[in-house]
Amino acid sequence: MKQGDVVLVRYPYTNLVDYKIRPAVIVSNETFNKAHSSFLACPITSKPTLPEYCLELTPENFHGKLETRSFVRTDSMAAVEKELCLKEIGFVEPAFLKALVEKIAKNF
């Protein structure tokens, strides 16, 4: 699992009890991913409820296939246990990953 990979995971709701199977972008780096049993990820959604916290995935910045127009949410990052990862479905371009990390940093 590498930074920038798009994976299908059991993504936790904020109550940390329930989950939804959804795609997510891994945002933690390889050093972090090797040292921990989890990785940090941002969920991918088809409904950008707060557009100022979303980045659109397009064919130019995503290598893989998603069923609908999709957006990465930077306001809902979570630590996801590696065992909750179902499969890898693609990866994002380095420029998109950089923009994503910058948008996440604005939340702090």
| Topology, domain 5-105 | SH3 type barrels. (2.30.30)
Q: What is the pLDDT tens value at each position of the chain, 108 positions in all? A: 899 999 999 887 777 677 889 999 999 999 999 999 999 999 999 988 888 999 999 999 999 988 889 999 999 899 999 998 999 999 999 999 999 999 999 988
Domain boundaries, the chain: 5-105
Q: Global pTM?
A: 0.91
- Write out the DSSP string of the chain: --TTEEEEEEEEPTTSS-EEEEEEEE-S-HHHHHHSSEEEEEEEES--SSGGGEEEE-TTTEEE--SS-EEEESS--EEEEGGGEEEEEEEE-HHHHHHHHHHHHTT-
